């Protein structure tokens, strides 16, 4: 790790029918002493579950953490059994397998649950966990829509649960340092921020219906979302389907939106949002069934005049930031990141673990820090969560669930403006659009029994 010229890293000190009896859940971790071993289960054996499992195997080696990777859960029998076998071998002890998250919530031996499900399940998972007296960690974005995100926060508050959001940059030492430098005025008064998510996605494929594979509970997989005909496209490409995912801005962009909010100290929603985009490459070139835009350009403005931009591109594109000509060590492609513009210079966060400042008209290199390989900070983020489980203080969390809701909502707002195809005006206090019934329909989604996100959690 390098720190130049400032070598001083800084850190910031399912449903109503499934939840019968949850209101009486204890407001403590199973009534046990906070020094007892914390037993954790992971729900959803998709790609991100690997980061969860790997982190918990590492944490088991740390006696001070005193945690146990205790369970895996998935409604797909094949994925469930495979995960149980693989993680039991890596952990060196038997890990229980659950076919239904309700069994996880009912198990008194499970203290906390992490969720690596598709987006359409995220908020309901957290709500049910909180109602069952379990603490939670949820992957980004924390919600599929704005309404469900707010209910997730309300559940965490009502049941006094510790809920971490999977925006891991908040636990990256270098990112923390860079944000502190920004807040300390290294580039002067910040007047603008821009986020980018440029990832070549290739041909995402087509929806080709076929019978549901043996061992997969497709009804449970769809959960609170509509049940469409099964296909590998639905199962594997859900990020790009409106009913299940939130497109690239929700998949990748939430990380950068979170850094923007953090850097600008934004604690409220914008009141004006514009988005234009296209799905040209997927629909016209690849003939894909992807629904969400591959190219999206969004502008947002707050009541006080602050403004940000965000850009998504899914095919070949130039790099951004324009500093590699002078500073070749800056990440070559800069495919994801944030640019802050200030009265005295600029700052970029070109990955998950680096920042650079460029000062004055000549863009002279200022304070910066980087780490080889630009790793995403999974383990530190889980370490922070475990520490907070013991302190029982939500303020100890790097990415407490309210922050997750606010950052996820920026992505939802961008998508809504794109889908209605006009500038929209949002009331931050009510979290609804002003005199816009069409846009307000997209603040939530039709419920599907029995997988209902309740109005009153």
Question: Are domains 38-169 and 173-218+232-372+401-443 of this chain identical in fold?
Answer: no
pLDDT at res. 333: 65
Q: What SS3 state is found at 357?
A: strand
pLDDT at res. 32: 56
Give residue-wise pLDDT tens across range 279-317: 999 999 999 999 999 999 999 999 999 999 999 999 999
SS3 of the chain: helix, strand, coil, percent, to 5: 35, 20, 45
Q: What is the pLDDT confidence band of residue 322, given thresholds at 50, 70 and 90?
A: low
pLDDT at res. 17: 35
Q: What is the pLDDT confidence band of residue 12, given thresholds at 50, 70 and 90?
A: very low
| Mean pLDDT score, 232-259 | 98
| Mean pLDDT score, 14-29 | 36
Specify the pairing of strand 355-359 against strand 345-349.
antiparallel
Q: How does DSSP assign 103-154, residue by residue?
A: HHHH-TT--EEEE-S-HHHHHHHHHHHHHTT-EEEEPSSS-SSHHHHHHHHH
In CATH, the number for domain 38-169 is 3.40.50.720
pLDDT at res. 324: 63
Q: Of 234, 165, 233, nearest to 203 (Cα)? A: 233
d(CA 273, CA 428): 12
Residue 258 scores a pLDDT above 80: yes
Q: Domains of the chain: which residue ranges?
A: 38-169, 173-218+232-372+401-443
**Distance of CA 110 to CAs 95, 323, 386, Å?**
12, 49, 14
Question: Distance of alpha carbon 197 from its chain centroid, rounded?
Answer: 14
Rounded to the nearest 10 degrees, the angle between the axes of helix 378-391 and helix 49-60 is 60
CATH class as words, domain 173-218+232-372+401-443: alpha beta
Q: Is 394 exposed, middle or buried (0-12, 13-18, 19+ CB in 10 A)?
A: middle
Q: What is the pLDDT confidence band of residue 375, given thresholds at 50, 70 and 90?
A: confident
Q: What is the pLDDT confidence band of residue 321, given thresholds at 50, 70 and 90?
A: low
Quote the percentage of the chain above a pLDDT of 70: 89
pLDDT at res. 357: 96
426 in Cβ contact with 269 (< 8 Å): yes
pLDDT at res. 320: 80
d(CA 155, CA 157): 5
């Amino acid at each position: 790790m390098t720190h130049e010229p400032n070598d001083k890293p800084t850190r910031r000190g399912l449903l109503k029918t499934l939840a019968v009896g949850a209101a009486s859940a204890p407001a403590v971790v199973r009534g046990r002493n906070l020094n007892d071993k914390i037993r954790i289960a992971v729900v959803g054996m998709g790609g991100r579950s690997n980061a969860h499992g790997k982190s918990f195997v590492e944490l088991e080696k740390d006696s001070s953490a005193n945690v146990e990777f205790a369970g895996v859960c998935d409604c797909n029998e094949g994925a469930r059994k495979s995960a149980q076998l693989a993680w039991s071998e890596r952990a060196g002890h038997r890990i229980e397998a659950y076919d239904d998250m309700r069994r996880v919530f009912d198990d008194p031996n499970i203290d906390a649950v992490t969720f690596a499900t598709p987006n359409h399940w995220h908020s309901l998972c957290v709500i049910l966990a909180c109602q069952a007296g379990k603490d939670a960690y949820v992957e980004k974005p924390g919600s599929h829509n704005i309404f469900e995100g707010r209910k997730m926060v309300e559940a965490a508050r009502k049941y006094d649960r510790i809920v971490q959001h999977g925006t891991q940059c908040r636990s990256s030492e270098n990112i923390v340092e860079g944000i502190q430098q920004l807040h300390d005025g290294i580039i002067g008064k910040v007047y603008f921020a821009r986020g980018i998510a440029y990832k070549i996605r290739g041909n995402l494929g087509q929806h080709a219906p076929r019978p549901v594979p043996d061992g997969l509970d497709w009804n449970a997989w769809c959960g609170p979302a509509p049940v469409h005909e099964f296909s590998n496209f639905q199962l594997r490409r859900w990020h790009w389907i409106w009913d299940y995912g939130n497109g690239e801005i929700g998949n990748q962009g939430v990380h950068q939106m979170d850094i923007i909010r953090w850097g600008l100290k934004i604690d409220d929603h914008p009141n004006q949002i514009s988005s234009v985009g296209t799905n040209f490459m997927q629909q016209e070139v690849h003939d894909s069934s992807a629904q969400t835009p591959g190219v999206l350009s969004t502008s947002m403005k707050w009541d006080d005049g602050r403004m940000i931009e965000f850009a998504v591109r899914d095919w070949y594109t130039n790099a951004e930031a324009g500093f590699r000509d002078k500073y070749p060590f800056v990440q070559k492609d800069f495919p994801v990141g944030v640019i802050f513009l200030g009265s005295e210079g600029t700052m970029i966060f070109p990955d998950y673990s680096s920042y650079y400042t460029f000062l004055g008209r000549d863009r002279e290199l200022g304070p910066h820090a980087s780490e080889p390989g630009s790793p995403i900070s999974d383990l530190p983020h889980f370490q922070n969560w475990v520490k907070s489980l013991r302190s029982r203080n939500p303020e100890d969390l790097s990415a407490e669930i309210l922050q997750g809701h606010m950052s996820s909502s920026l992505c939802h707002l961008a998508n809504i403006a794109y889908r209605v195809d006009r500038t929209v005006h949002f009331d931050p206090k009510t979290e609804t659009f002003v005199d816009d019934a069409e846009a307000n329909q997209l603040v939530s989604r039709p419920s599907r029994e029995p997988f209902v996100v309740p109005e009153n959690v």
